[in-house]
Homo-oligomer: A and B are copies of this chain.
Amino acid sequence: MDLCGVELGGPVLNGSGTFDAIAARRAFGDPLLERFPFHAFVSKTITLEPRQGNPPPRLWETPAGMINSIGLPNRGLEGFLAHDLPELAELPVPLVVSVMGFSRDELATLVERVGAREEVAMIELNVSCPNVESGLIMGADPAETALAVDRVRPLTDRPLIVKLTPNATDPAAVGRAAEGAGADALSLINTLKGMALDPRGGGPWLGGGAGGVSGPAIRAIALEQVSSVARNVSIPVIGMGGIASGHDAADFLAAGARCVAVGTESFRDPAAGRRIGAELNSLAGAARPPAQPSRRDRDPIRVR
């Protein structure tokens, strides 16, 4: 199959930041490459400067899910290009590099430098962060998102995926803005803001204060957002959020996604992506009519 001109062996990607192929190769060795779980590999989000991430604890388990407060630890752009990229280039699937900038200038540098590397098939813009220029979360605001995409679009010929945040009033409007500014694809959902308290008292459990909720708990929320965004744009959508089975993945495809991504479920089983791909294949026989009769329809006003 094809995603923005990149040939993929199937529709299953990983969610950025939920699978470190380099570390996994240390744990599993080359059998990981022979039985690679995904049809494209998305890197953990990198930033311009190195970051050590948030203080521990970084994890909290919730009913059918978890909260993470990792804080984007990474080597920074130069470290990534020098150390990680050559190793990621050995993976048997196309590489998507996820980048986040705290200003449009930062984002521009990241996209330009990453996009210049031939190992990189696509770039994903993680816009779930505050823009230091405006104080707004880029991806929560259609205009901010459009400005960011607009700025980086001329700097690379690589397909640009914009990863939307679910912590927004109207993700479909943000998706339309990204499409209008030249995004080639959208991915969603990122984690939902969440929090846990230390059971011993005294304040938040997570070193970072709040965190992001992922896993099956958020699947129904993700499916609604994917459906609503897909109905509102013409570019392909990569759907994710709590996918744990081929049946779940089929739901996201039926809701309008072109591809799916597996995140938290990989923590429970490193081969989850492969299993889900296989389950999808066996479901494909029993073809389901698409759930969305047509794109570009606007949601009717509904009250719950």
Q: Which residues of A contact B (CB under 8 A)?
A: 60, 62-65, 67-72, 100, 128-130, 135, 137, 140-141, 167-170, 191-199, 201-204, 208-213, 215-221, 223-225, 227-228, 242, 247, 251, 254-255, 288-289, 291-293, 300-304
Contact = CB atoms under 8 A, between A and B. Distances in A.
A221 B197 contact: no
A193 B169 contact: no
A255 B169 contact: no
Contacts of A137: 169
* Copies, count: 2
4 tightest A-B CB contacts, nearest first: A194-B220, A63-B64, A195-B224, A201-B288
A220 B130 contact: no
Given A63-B219, A203-B292, 14 more contacts: A63-B63, A63-B64, A64-B216, A65-B217, A67-B220, A128-B304, A129-B303, A169-B169, A193-B224, A193-B304, A195-B227, A201-B288, A201-B289, A217-B220
Contact residues of A: prevailing secondary structure: loop
A217 B303 contact: no
A288 to B, nearest CB: 4
A254 B205 CA distance: 12
A175 to B, nearest CB: 15
Contacts of A227: 195, 210
Contacts of A291: 197-198, 201-204
A29 B199 CA distance: 39
A223 B211 contact: no
B217 A301 contact: no
Contacts of A220: 60, 62, 65, 67, 194-196, 213, 217
Nearest to A66: B220
A280 to B, nearest CB: 15
A304 B203 contact: no
Contacts of A193: 221, 224-225, 304
A96 to B, nearest CB: 20
